[in-house]
Structures are given as C-alpha cells and as structure tokens.
Structure 1
Amino acid sequence: MTKTNSPFTAKSVEAIKATAKRQEIPDPGLRGFYLIVQPLPGGAKSWAVRYKGKPKYTIGSAAIWTLADARKEAGRIMRAYDEGRDPRAAKKEAASDDNLVENVLGEFVKRHVKIKNRASTAREQQRFIDNELLPRWKGRPINAIAKRDIVKMLNEIVDRGAPQSALRVKALVSKFFAWCVGTDRLDASPCTGIEPPAVITKRKRVLSPEEIRLVWKGAEIIGWPFGPLTQLLLLTGQRREEVGGASWAEFDLNAKEPVWTVPEQRAKNGNANVVALAPAALAILASLPRIAGKSDLVLTTNGEKSISGYSRGKRRLDEAMLAVARKEACERGDDPNKVAIPEWTLHDLRRTLATLGGDIGILPHTIEAILNHARVGISAHYNHARYEAEKRTSLIKWARHIETIIASEPGLNVVPLKKIPQGMLAGER
C-alpha cells in the first residue's frame, strides 16, 4: 500500500500519479480516510473510508469531491459507525428514485408550495423549478447537491441579466432545502452561508413615449405569440402571468361593453379583476389564431400549455426595437451605432401605465383598481368599490394615448393626447 508522511493537501493529491497497479493511500491527517488511485490507463482517483474493520465505503470521485468536502464526509461516515448506524444502507436509500431531485421537488411542490402559498406565487415557484432547478439537477440524488452547485446556478442567473430572479431563486432553494431537513431527507442544508446573489432593489423604470412607440413597433415585427402578449400587457396593465395564462372563457367579447375577467385563482392577490377592453385590445384579440377544438388558451403555441420562453421572447423584442431605432437614426442622418435602449422589463409596463396614466388625468384610485392592487389600511376594511365605470373610461383613454404615441413621429418625447370621441368613452366599438 502506498503511503505518504504528511496530511493530504490539494496540491499533494494532484501530484500523486497513477501507476500500473491500483493504489490505496491513507491520509496521515485522518485515520481511515483514503485516496484510491486506479491503475493506468484510466488512473481515476476517488475517496474512500476504511474504519474499524467495517466494509470499505466509497465517498466518490476526487474530480467531483474536493479534499475538504471529502474529509468532512469521511468524518460523518465515521460518526455514523460510532453511533451504530450503517452509512452504506443510508447511501443506498439516498440513491433510490425517491431521493432524486425531481421526485423530491415534486413532493415539495405538493406538500409545501401549493399549500403555503397563493396560487400565483405557487405558479412562479413552479416556473423557477422547471426553468432553473430541473434542467441543472434532474437525475441527481438530493444529497449530491452541494453549495457550489447552488452558487454556480445563482451566478449564471445574475450573469444573464436577471439579478432579481436570482434573489427569488435563492429564496426558493433555501426554503426547499430547509424543508428537506425538516422532513429528514437531509441532515443539513447546502444553502447555509450563501450570500444574496444581488442587491434587493425597488424598480422605478418608466418607459418614455418614444420607448413605448419602439415597444409597439418591435412587437409588430416579432409577431405571434410574444408580440401580441406585449401589446396586451401595455394596453391592460395586467401582470405577465395573468395575460400569458388567459383562456377564452374569461372573455366576454360580445357584450355591449366587452370585458376580460381575471379569475381569483389566477390573480396574484386572490381577487378577481374585471378588465375593460378598449377597441385596440379587441383588435389584437380578434387577430389571434385559435387551435380549433384543442385548447381554450388565448396565448399558446401547442394548444396544451400557455405561452412560455419569456426570456427568449424578450430578447427578440429588444433586438427588434433596437433595429427600428437604428434604422430611424440612419434615416435622420445620425450614427446608428450610438443608439441604445436602456434595460427594461415587461413588468415595467405596469408601472408605465400607472405613471403616464396619472399624467393624462387617470385618478390614483382608478389606477390602483386597474392594476388590481391589494388594498391596505382602512380602505381594505371599508371600501369595496370596484370602480368599473371609471376603469373602462380610463383604459379607453389610455389606449387612445398609446395610439397617439404610436402614430407620432420618431424621436418625439412629448406626445399630445388627441380628443377622445364620445362613443369610445361610452365603451362603443
């Protein structure tokens, strides 16, 4: 058996070379802890424990387990033997299908996420699970997810320009692993000690009239399905998931005053919201394709699920907006390479309606009702008015303002509001 005189270090382990024979090298710094080196031509290195006459316990590959982590795991295994437990049986159980990440996450969603959260929050957390956790960790045992895996994931989310999403993913993962500890699936959470991946910021971004014009033009260029989604977000002021998950059954398009009712189970605050539909919104809805006899979803590409791929769609929209802005710069004789569009999100469209809507005379309480914000304080207890008439008048007014912006000449920052025909204020089509 090969021996060394000094405790293992990362450098000394790396310096140990494979030979024609298998090697078991004990660590002088921790009795019972071994480095196993397979013979050439493979020469793979792994960590193992031989302790008090018990069968050899293989920890794992040295390419995956760092020396520090392997030592820590070896100490845990030795403690288990000292306490009369069989870590090999526990390892076998942990490797079962019941302990695969996807199956434990399914239990977590069923027994925690859907019970402890509002429906809208549960949908958001499921989206993060589907888009962030499962693509990276599916097929791995839950106890194989290390702190470095979580940090790597959070850094990747931040690096693609979504720091606030990284914060929400960290909160979700922390809750998930705490639940795993609480249900005796893990002894400790790998999230312990992970710093927030970004600074919590309260967004203040409001799009200018010129940016609104570019958003609309870009949405026309990219077309179905992300283009109409963006236009409906701008016209209605509703949340992305509410518009993206809408079904035709929620719309009353043949009424004298057409409306879309966001049901309470899909509304973020749990309160149903009646959204008046201006002629511009009705025109967009009328242009949408339907998958005959297959789905009632308004925005779907396969008839089975509502629209997805928001990040990809937003990138396409940004590219289309920039292309329009640069083309117009060329036509003005300006340098197109100096044209840039500041970062913005789909949620900023709600803030834009709230801010610019106030500038054109929509009253604050009507804006709050349009956005379906939860009421607080005395208003939450005593004021149950829905302001449906005011909402209808205001959303038609807002849609006419958007139409004026779209029709304006490129580069204008101040857009006059045209007089609204009386018929439109009454909800006539």
Structure 2
Amino acid sequence: MPKLRLTAAAVDRFQPPAKGQVEYYDAHLPAFGLRVSYSGAKAWFVMTRINGKLTRLTLGRYPALSLAEAREKARQVIENAKAGGDPRRLEAEERRRKAKEQQTTFRGTAALFMERYVERELRPNTAREYRRILQGSDTAAWRDRPISSISKDDVVDLLHRIEERGSPAAANRALAYLGKFFNWSLEQDLITVSPTAKVRALSSGKSRERVLTPEELAWLWCTLNGYPGLFGGLFKVLLLTGQRRSEVAGMRWDELRSLNTSEAVWHLPPERTKNAQSHLVPLAPAVRTILQMLPRTGPLVFSTTSKTAVSGFSKAKRQLDLRIAQLRSDEHLASLLPWTLHDLRRTMVTTMNERLSVPPHVVEAVVNHISGPAKRGVAGVYNRAIYLNERRNALNHWADYVTRLVCDNHASDSMALQFAQGLAQQEQIPSRPARLIAAMPEVHLQS
C-alpha cells in the first residue's frame, strides 16, 4: 500500500495495474486514499472507525470528485465518526435530499405529474399534448430549475414566444396545460402559489368562423396537386375527409378496410377519437387513389420514420401558404386571407349543409359529432343508426365538388342539385332547391 503526498499531478500519472487494484494512501491525511483498478477507474476512499469497527467508505470517483473536494469530504467523515455519528447514514440522508431536490425541479415534477395524473386519467392524444408542453422544447430552459422558482414572468415570456411563431391558439392551449400542471403541484404542496394564477390568455380564443370560398378551395386543391412530399397527400386527405388533424396524421394501414374497393372505409378506434367513440369514414375514390399511391414504410400511413406519425405541421402549412401566395402573385392576385387546417373541416361541414344539401344528421355523422338533436339525450340512447351509406354518398360528392372546382367552375351547380335530389329520394323527404355557388372567376395556374 504505497503512501505519498497526493497531488493532482500525481493522481493523473497513476497507471492501472495489470490486474486487481492498487491503493495509494495520502501522507498528509493517512486515513484518506485513492484506489486505482485494472480497468482504469480511480475512486477516493477513507478509513475510519464506526461503532469501534474499522470501516472503509467510498467517497466518489476521480475526476468527477477532485482531490481537494475528496480530501475535505474525508475530513468531515472522520470528524463525524469521532463525534459518534454514522457517515453512512449521513450519506443516505444526502442522497435522499438530492433525490427530493431532483423531484422538485420542473423536470422531476413534470415527470411525476405525467405518471400520476396524465398517463392514468387522460386520453393518449391529450397526454401527447401535455408531454409536448411540459417535456418539449418550449419549457427546456426550466427543466433543472426548482419548480418554486418558475414565475409569472417566465410563463408570460413562454406564451409570447409561442404566439410570435404565429400560433396564438397554441399559446392559449399551453396556458391551459400549464395551469393544470401548476394547480396539481399546488395540491401536492410542491409550491405555495401557481405562476399561472393571474395570467390571461393572449388571444380571445373566440370560436373561429373562417370558411374557404369555392375559389379559395380551387387554388388550394390546384396547389396541393403539385405539393411535394408526404404533406401533399396528408393535406389532401385532411381536406377530402374533414376529419381532425391528429386523426389523419395518426392513420394506420390496419385501420383501412377494403381499400381497393368501392366499399373502402377507414375505421377509427375509440382511443383515437376526441369523443372516445369509434368512427367509420367512408373513403371516396379520390381519397383511395391518394392512399394507394403512398409508400408503405411501416404501420403508419403518414410517417417518415415508420415508427412515429408525421410532425412539423406549422412549417408545412407556412410553405403551402407561400406556394399559394406565389401562384396568385403571378396572376396579380392578393394572397388568401389567413386560414388554418381546422378551417378545412369547418368548410366541409358548411358546404355540405349549405351547398350540397346534406341532411344535418348525416353531416354530424360524417364528422363524428354527437351534439345534434338526433343523437342527444334520450333520442341518442335509442338512435344507433350510423348512416354509413348516406355518409359515403356525402363524402363522395364532397370530394367530387372539391376536385371539379378547378376543372369546371360551374360543375358544382348541377352536382349540388343532383345530390340534393338523390338524398331526397333516398330518404323519402321533399327535395329542396340547392343553393348554387356564385360565379367563380377562371383560375389560370402556371405549371
């Protein structure tokens, strides 16, 4: 057991033995030393008596623990042992203190919240949104901070950063998720006041009313026909089915039934829908064609990794807007008014009701709503009709309406009337005149 005055330079020079380990004791503090193993690992130790028994305690590894720090720690252990204390108990208490401190960081508290509340109580889609806010890039700077140090100013700054990306609605959602998280932390006595308590939403959050006009739909569809990458097909399916963005993005091949036939249907299981109700989406020929042209790289239809659903909607939407704006600029036309992907769903619903004369209960069924009078209350208990044929008819005509807008500006007039008459005959209800779309200027797109 070599004994010498340990210095930082000497510790660096120590070479591992051919086998086993060798210990170097410090001439300055004889009970303190360094153990070097054949693997090259170097660990500090101290020898002291605990309850009359000579005991070796490991202090930490070099270089994570420096020579000066290890020597000081050895002195404290020796003094505590002389005073009758047990350094091992003190070390255990220190580990518990550090573990509790780690738990009360934003990162640790968020992990507890996800485990004890979100993952147990909430649907997968909602859990994913909580994960994105609490464990994503927006709150990355908070991760190692004590949760009690997060202030109202921190929250407001975060919301402004999200809003500046062009996402005021996302900022409002972030505030709602953070509010729930901090209120839970308050209930667990991890904080004494919530930093979101007096933070107001940055935007009003009023219900949107944006519905794209036939001309706007024509420009959108024409642009999508030349839009590259996976998002071109995804945006088309989003438009032609009217389903929610998360539902389309998470589409799986095993959810698609009879894809190569006119009876093709997309079956959404309860865990993938907002209202936790299974949902059948008949697939129009145009949608089937889009899906059949996509490569199969894994279980997910829209995926670049074959393991996770496609992401980056904001960037893809901005690129689409720029593409449409450039095409319209070439024709000396102004850019389209701002619109969101969810506006496509509202546009389909509105058009089915006002232009294609689809009965309201069929429209409700198409978008998996259970709020209509035919499905509410006692009526909903007995009315289990799924209107699958009517839904297929509605979605087929909607797809025809969209895809023909570019080719024939007036085709939708007669199509709307024929569709209304077809539904009236099918359901034995008096037909009513279809609202005809206004004359639409010709659209000339450069290739």
Q: Contact 1:218/1:318 (CA < 8 Å) preserved in 2?
A: no
Shift of 1:95: 7.8
Alignment of 1:5-404 (within 5 A): 93=98, 96-131=101-136, 133-252=138-257, 253-291=259-297, 295-327=298-330, 329=331, 335-336=332-333, 339-358=334-353, 359-375=355-371, 376-404=376-404
Distance (whole Å) between structure 2 residues aligned to residue 94 and residue 186 of structure 1: 17
Instruction: Label 1:342 to 1:90 Cα distance change in 2 as closer, same or farther (>3 A).
Output: farther
Runs of 4+ in 1 over 4 A off after TM superposition: 89-95, 417-421
Distance (whole Å) between structure 2 residues aligned to residue 406 and residue 100 of structure 1: 56
Instruction: Label 1:345 to 1:179 Cα distance change in 2 as closer, same or farther (>3 A).
Output: same
Distance (whole Å) between structure 1 residues aligned to residue 96 and residue 124 of structure 2: 36
Q: Contact 2:133/2:174 (CA < 8 Å) preserved in 1?
A: yes
Distance (whole Å) between structure 2 residues aligned to residue 315 and residue 91 of structure 1: 49
TM-score by length of 1: 0.69
Distance (whole Å) between structure 1 residues aligned to residue 116 and residue 237 of structure 2: 35
Q: Secondary structure at the match of 2:162?
A: helix
Q: Contact 2:221/2:403 (CA < 8 Å) preserved in 1?
A: no
Distance (whole Å) between structure 2 residues aligned to residue 367 and residue 346 of structure 1: 19
Q: Secondary structure at the match of 1:260?
A: strand
Q: Secondary structure at the match of 1:151?
A: helix
Highest CA radius of gyration, 1 or 2? 2
Distance (whole Å) between structure 1 residues aligned to residue 116 and residue 108 of structure 2: 12
Instruction: Label 1:161 to 1:392 Cα distance change in 2 as closer, same or farther (>3 A).
Output: same
Instruction: Label 1:92 to 1:222 Cα distance change in 2 as closer, same or farther (>3 A).
Output: farther
- Output one character per residue of 1:88-108: Cα deviation in whole Å (capped at 9) or x when no partner: x99965884333323322221
- Output one character per residue of 1:213-243: Cα deviation in whole Å (capped at 9) or x when no partner: 2222332333222221111011111100000
Q: Contact 1:95/1:141 (CA < 8 Å) preserved in 2?
A: no
Counterpart AA for 1:386: I
State the superposition RMSD in angstroms.
Answer: 2.7
Q: Secondary structure at the match of 2:280?
A: strand
Counterpart AA for 1:374: I
Instruction: Label 1:380 to 1:189 Cα distance change in 2 as closer, same or farther (>3 A).
Output: same
Counterpart AA for 1:288: L
- Output one character per residue of 1:95-142: Cα deviation in whole Å (capped at 9) or x when no partner: 843333233222212221233333433333333335564444333332
- Output one character per residue of 1:7-32: Cα deviation in whole Å (capped at 9) or x when no partner: xxxxxxxxxxxxxxxxxxxxxxxxxx
Distance (whole Å) between structure 2 residues aligned to residue 274 and residue 282 of structure 1: 15
- Output one character per residue of 1:259-300: Cα deviation in whole Å (capped at 9) or x when no partner: 110111101100111110111000110111221xxx200000
5+ unaligned residues in a row in structure 2: which ranges?
1-93, 424-447
- Output one character per residue of 1:378-422: Cα deviation in whole Å (capped at 9) or x when no partner: 33322111111100111111111111113246xx9x95354889x
Distance (whole Å) between structure 1 residues aligned to residue 396 and residue 168 of structure 2: 35
Counterpart residue number, 2:9: none
Equivalenced residue count is 321
Counterpart AA for 2:180: K
Shift of 1:161: 2.6
- Output one character per residue of 1:164-206: Cα deviation in whole Å (capped at 9) or x when no partner: 2222111110110111111222222122221222212011110
Distance (whole Å) between structure 2 residues aligned to residue 95 and residue 217 of structure 1: 58
Which fold has the larger relative contact order, with Cα–Cα distance below 8 Å and residues 6 or more apart in sequence? 1
TM-score by length of 2: 0.66
Counterpart AA for 2:362: T
What is the identity percentage for the equivalent residue pairs of Structure 1 and Structure 2?
Answer: 35
Counterpart residue number, 2:31: none
- Output one character per residue of 1:330-385: Cα deviation in whole Å (capped at 9) or x when no partner: xxxxx45xx12111111111110101112112111111000001243333322111
Distance (whole Å) between structure 2 residues aligned to residue 102 and residue 299 of structure 1: 31
Q: Secondary structure at the match of 2:226?
A: helix
Instruction: Label 1:416 to 1:316 Cα distance change in 2 as closer, same or farther (>3 A).
Output: same
Shift of 1:254: 3.8
Q: Contact 1:94/1:141 (CA < 8 Å) preserved in 2?
A: no
Q: Secondary structure at the match of 2:403?
A: helix
Counterpart residue number, 1:64: none
Counterpart AA for 2:384: H
Counterpart AA for 2:310: I
Instruction: Label 1:240 to 1:207 Cα distance change in 2 as closer, same or farther (>3 A).
Output: same
Distance (whole Å) between structure 2 residues aligned to residue 218 and residue 131 of structure 1: 32
Counterpart residue number, 1:31: none
